[in-house]
Amino acid sequence: MCVCVYVCEAAAKVGNSRALFEDVKKLTGQKRAEITKIQDKDKVMHTKQKEIVEIFSNYFDKLLNVKNTIKDDLVKKIKERIILLPCSYSYGLRRNVCAAY
């Protein structure tokens, strides 16, 4: 067995997870996962780096930039109703402290 394996086992036995992970990192090397191909929304496979970046960019743009659909009149009704609730009923509290504020 390699000496590194004994070092990893010793770190694991004493609960030194930092040393354990550092040793495992040394043993396995500094490898990063690399995306080499990706399917677009039309199920077409792309392998060029520029195309992959463009597909990810479009995907996250659509995912994260959603138009807000809050109805202002509904929010106003909810706020009015919270204020009108007796304090002891707000959020199920059984105290005289009003939780609406």
| Among 2-16, 38-52, 65-79, the range of highest mean pLDDT | 38-52
Q: pLDDT digits over 82-93, tens only?
A: 766 555 554 555
Is the pLDDT at 69 greater than 90, yes or no? no
With beta carbons less than 8 A apart as the criterion, state whether 23 and 11 touch: yes
Handedness of CA 25, 27, 31, 32 (dihedral sign): negative
Residue at token pair 């909810």: 78
Look up the pTM and report it.
0.40
Q: pLDDT digits over 4-37, tens only?
A: 566 667 767 777 778 777 877 887 777 777 888 9
The half-sphere exposure of 95 on its side-chain side, counting CA atoms within 13 A, is 6
CA 72 to chain CA centroid, nearest Å: 29
